[in-house]
């Protein structure tokens, strides 16, 4: 039987090779905010908000210009003729207002339930 390199056990030159711990895997540290040139900032968030607002405003303008026919509205005894777009926008604003009031009341209720919360 010949002694081939594949058949021989690998011997370490270190006397304590069995107890040596392997080196930790190489990891890259996350970039700090100051080192990242493409990080988000308040200005970039504001810019995105302005763009979204402009798009919504253009869509709203198109909606109003396409729905100018007058409609008769009656509410609690008051009657009047207003453009359809204005009536729909008023209904939308009223719905948003009711949702905001209900949401604000719920947030207030939940904040009161949190123990140890300081009053500002």
Tell me how far apart the alpha carbons of residues 79 and 73 are, in angstroms, rounded to a whole number: 6
Residue 84 lies in a domain: yes
Q: What pLDDT, on a 0 to 100 scale, did the predictor assign at position 33?
A: 58
| Structural domain boundaries enclosing 78 | 42-113
Residue 91 lies in a domain: yes
Residue 95 lies in a domain: yes
Domain count, the chain: 1
CB atoms within 10 A of CB 24: 6
Tell me how far apart the alpha carbons of residues 95 and 90 are, in angstroms, rounded to a whole number: 9
| Tens-place pLDDT, residues 51-104 | 999 999 999 889 888 888 999 988 899 899 999 988 888 889 999 999 999 999
Helix residue spans in the chain (DSSP H)? 42-66, 84-113
């Amino acid at each position: 039987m010949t002694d081939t390199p594949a058949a021989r056990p690998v011997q370490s030159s270190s006397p304590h090779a069995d107890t040596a711990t392997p080196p930790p895997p190489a990891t890259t540290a996350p970039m700090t905010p100051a080192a990242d040139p493409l990080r988000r900032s308040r200005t970039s968030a504001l810019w995105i908000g302005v763009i979204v607002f402009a798009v919504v405003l253009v869509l709203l303008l198109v909606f109003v210009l396409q729905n100018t026919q007058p409609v008769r509205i009656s509410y609690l005894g008051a009657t009047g003729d207003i453009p359809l777009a204005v009536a729909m926008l008023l209904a939308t604003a009223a719905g948003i207002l009711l949702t905001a009031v209900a949401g604000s009341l719920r947030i207030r209720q939940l904040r009161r339930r949190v123990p140890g919360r300081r009053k500002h």
